[in-house]
C-alpha cells in the first residue's frame, strides 16, 4: 500500500513539474518577445512598458494575435500582417532561445511544486531579472555595438539586492561584502563618461560571472 502511494506521489509530482517546465518555457518565449521590443526601443529612448507594439516598417499597431510568441511568426509566414514586409528572423530565434534558457534554468533549480522552497523561489526571481538584463544588453550590443548604461545599472542594482539577501541568509560575510563593493565600483565605472566600451564589456563579463557563481552557490 505504501509502495503504491509512493508511486502515485512520484507520478503526480512528475506531472506537476512537467507543467512547471512548460510554464517556464512559455514564460521564456514571452520575455524573449519583450526583449526584442526592448532591444529596438531602448536605444531610441522609447517607452517599453505602456506603448503598444507596432510594426517598425508600417507603424501599424499590432493586436493580440500578432504577438503570440513563436506561433504568430510561424502562422504569419515571417511577415507583417498589414504591410507584408518580412519580419527579421531574430525575433523567433530570440523567443525560442529565451524559452530554452528559462526551461533549463527551471530544471537546474529543480523546483518541487509539492514542496516549494523559499530559497529556490528567490533564486528563480533573481534569475529571471538577471537573465533578462543579459539578453537585453547583448541584444543592444549586437545591434549598436555599445553596452546600454541604463539596463546595466538596473542589472547591477538587482544583483546587489540579491547579494544582500544572500548575506542575510548566510554567515559568509566577507565574500558578499567584496561582491557588493565590486558591483558598486562596476556601477561607478559604468556611469563614468570616460569609461570606454572595451572596459564596459569587461565589467559586463565580471557582472555575469558574479551572478552565475552566486546562483550556483545558492541552489
Residues 6+ apart with CB under 8 A from 199: 189
Helices assigned H by DSSP within the chain: 2-41, 71-75, 90-109, 118-144, 149-169, 173-191, 197-218
115-148: pLDDT as tens digits: 677 888 888 889 999 999 999 999 999 888 888 8
Give the mean model confidence (pLDDT) for residues 49-62: 84
Q: Which of 58, 57, 80, 48 is nearest to 67 (CA)?
A: 80
What string of DSSP letters covers 162-212?
HHHHHHHH-S-HHHHHHHHHHHHHHHHHHH-TT--HHHHHHHHHHHHHHHH
Give the mean model confidence (pLDDT) for residues 3-31: 73
Q: Is pLDDT above 60 for 3?
A: no
pTM, whole model, 2 decimals?
0.84
∠127-129-131 over CA atoms, to 5°? 65
Q: Is pLDDT above 90 for 30?
A: yes
Tally of CB atoms within 10 A around 74: 10
Please give the pLDDT value at position 7.
47
3-state secondary structure of 86: strand
Considering Cα of 134, then 199, then 161, then 148, what sign does the dihedral take?
A: negative
Please give the pLDDT value at position 95.
92
Q: Which of 171, 176, 198, 203 is nearest to 187 (CA)?
A: 203
Please give the pLDDT value at position 2.
47
Contacts 24+ apart (CB under 8 A), 54-63: 55/80, 55/82, 55/83, 55/85, 57/83, 57/85, 58/82, 58/83, 58/85
Grid coordinates representing 125 are 526571481
Please give the pLDDT value at position 157.
92
Strand partners, 79: 86
Please give the pLDDT value at position 8.
52
Give the mean model confidence (pLDDT) for residues 54-72: 86
170-214: pLDDT as tens digits: 756 677 788 888 888 989 988 888 888 888 899 999 999 988 888
Of 3-7, 63-67, 118-122, 193-197, give the lowest mean pLDDT range.
Answer: 3-7
Amino acid at each position: 500500500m505504501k509502495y503504491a502511494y509512493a508511486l502515485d506521489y512520484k507520478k503526480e509530482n512528475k506531472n506537476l513539474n512537467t507543467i512547471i517546465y512548460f510554464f517556464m518555457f512559455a514564460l521564456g518565449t514571452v520575455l524573449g518577445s519583450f526583449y526584442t521590443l526592448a532591444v529596438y526601443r531602448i536605444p531610441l529612448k522609447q517607452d517599453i512598458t505602456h506603448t503598444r507594439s507596432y510594426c517598425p516598417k508600417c507603424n501599424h499597431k499590432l493586436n493580440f494575435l500578432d504577438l503570440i510568441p513563436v506561433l504568430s511568426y510561424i502562422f504569419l509566414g515571417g511577415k507583417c500582417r498589414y504591410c507584408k514586409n518580412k519580419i527579421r528572423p531574430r525575433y523567433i530565434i530570440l523567443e525560442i532561445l529565451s524559452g530554452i534558457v528559462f526551461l533549463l534554468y527551471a530544471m537546474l533549480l529543480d523546483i518541487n511544486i509539492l514542496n516549494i522552497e523559499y530559497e529556490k523561489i528567490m533564486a528563480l526571481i533573481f534569475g529571471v531579472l538577471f537573465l533578462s538584463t543579459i539578453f537585453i544588453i547583448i541584444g543592444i550590443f549586437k545591434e549598436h555595438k555599445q553596452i546600454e548604461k541604463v539596463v546595466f545599472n538596473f542589472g547591477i542594482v538587482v544583483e546587489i539586492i540579491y547579494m544582500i539577501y544572500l548575506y542575510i541568509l548566510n554567515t559568509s560575510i566577507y565574500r558578499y561584502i567584496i561582491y557588493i563593493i565590486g558591483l558598486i565600483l562596476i556601477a561607478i565605472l559604468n556611469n563614468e563618461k570616460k569609461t570606454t566600451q572595451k572596459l564596459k564589456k569587461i565589467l559586463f563579463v565580471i557582472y555575469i560571472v558574479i551572478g552565475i557563481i552566486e546562483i550556483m552557490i545558492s541552489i
